[in-house]
Amino acid sequence: MSHAEPDQLAGLALDPDDASEAVREHAQTCPECAALVAAFTGTRRRAGADALVAPPAHVRDRVLADVRAPAPPTAPPPVVVRERRGVPAWLAAVAAALALVAGIGLGRIGTGETPAPEASDPTPVETDDGGEVVAATALTALDSDAERGEASVTDRDDVITLRVRARDLGDEDGFHEVWLINVDGKRMVGVGILADGDDGEFKVPRHLIDDGYRIVDISVEPDDGDPTHSGVSLARGELA
């Protein structure tokens, strides 16, 4: 005889008297069907749990806040898992153009006709435009000590300029954005996009540095229009 139908075996598990004689006999001799009856009986015994208890609403808020916040700088490096999104070529081009414009705009503020950063010494005491270096840091990868360039802050006539010279940032899709993370690990501000290669200059309010926004962070950002940190940091260093 072929195996009994699951429906018949479920009926047997629920009420032996309901099953036909043929099904009962088969299930007594066929190990497979007997096992299925036993599994149904076991499942039946799993019933009886009290109603599930939903967590309070604030747990949901906390989960979403945790998920939306960038990984704190003290945490282990965020796992770089970026599902590559299929961005249409025309859209990528538009986003790249926008990034370029934004970068130029920021870079020019307060720096006048600054020569290309490559032209200056890697760790200048006096920059070409006469600003005094008040803080600097080497940039390194998060998951190793691999060098990723350097960043410095100059102060000229009360204009604070963050100068970033990065390298080896990789070729992951997206653009590179510079952030200042507060040493409290809870706050961060985006200061601009590295539009021209891996170097950039950004004018920043003095009080940011004074308030503890001293960790320079470079992220890779997808062209998704989301203004928050992607959570994928390529380089970091603390200004001192």
Partner 1 sequence: MTIIPFPARSPRRYGDLVVTQPMALEDEADDVRSLAERLVAGEEAALEAVYDRWSPLVHTYALRALADPHDAEDVTQQVFVAAWRSRHTLTPSPSALPAWLIGIARHKVADVRAARARDADRLAAVVSLPGAHELHQSADEDVAEQLVVRQAVDEMPDPRRTILFLAFWEEHSHAEIAERVGLPLGTVKSHLRRGLITLHRQLEGVRHESR
# of chain residues touching partner 1 (CB under 8 A) = 36
The yes or no reply on residue 49 touching partner 1 (CB under 8 A) is yes
Nearest CA among 236, 233, 187, 189 for reference residue 79: 233
Question: Which of 55, 88, 130, 227 touches partner 1 (CB under 8 A)?
Answer: 55
The yes or no reply on residue 30 touching Zn ion (CB under 5 A) is yes
Render the chain in DSSP notation, one character per residue: -PPPPHHHHHHHHH-GGGS-HHHHHHHHH-HHHHHHHHHHHHHHHTTTPPPP-PPPHHHHHHHHHHHHSPPPTTSPPPP---PPP---HHHHHHHHHHHHHHHHHHHHTTT-SPPPGGGS-SS-SB-TT-PEEEEEEEEE-SSS--EEEEEEEEEETTEEEEEEEE------SSEEEEEEEETTSS-EEEEEEE-BTTEEEEEE-HHHHHTTEEEEEEEEE-SS---S--S-EEEEEE--
Restricted to residues 58-87, the positions that interact with partner 1 (CB under 8 A) are 59-60, 62-64, 66-68, 78-79, 81, 83
Give the nearer residue to partner 1 in terms of CB position, either 57 or 125.
57
The yes or no reply on residue 3 touching Zn ion (CB under 5 A) is yes
The yes or no reply on residue 6 touching partner 1 (CB under 8 A) is yes
The region of 55-63, 108-116, 123-131, 172-180 touching partner 1 under the rule CB under 8 A is 55-63
Give the nearer residue to partner 1 in terms of CB position, either 48 or 112.
48
33 makes contact, choosing from Zn ion, partner 1, none, with CB < 5 to 8 Å by partner type, with Zn ion
The yes or no reply on residue 119 touching partner 1 (CB under 8 A) is no
The whole-angstrom separation of Cα 71 and Cα 180 is 13
64 makes contact, choosing from partner 1, Zn ion, none, with CB < 5 to 8 Å by partner type, with partner 1
Name the token pair of 52: 């599930």
The region of 44-52, 118-126, 153-161, 207-215 touching partner 1 under the rule CB under 8 A is 44-52
Q: Answer for the pair 117, 150: CB distance below 8 angstroms, yes or no.
A: no
43 makes contact, choosing from Zn ion, partner 1, none, with CB < 5 to 8 Å by partner type, with partner 1
Give the nearer residue to Zn ion in terms of CB position, either 30 or 138.
30
The region of 54-62, 138-146, 170-178, 207-215 touching partner 1 under the rule CB under 8 A is 54-62
Report the interface residues with partner 1, using CB under 8 A: 6-7, 10-11, 13-15, 18, 39-40, 43-44, 46-57, 59-60, 62-64, 66-68, 78-79, 81, 83
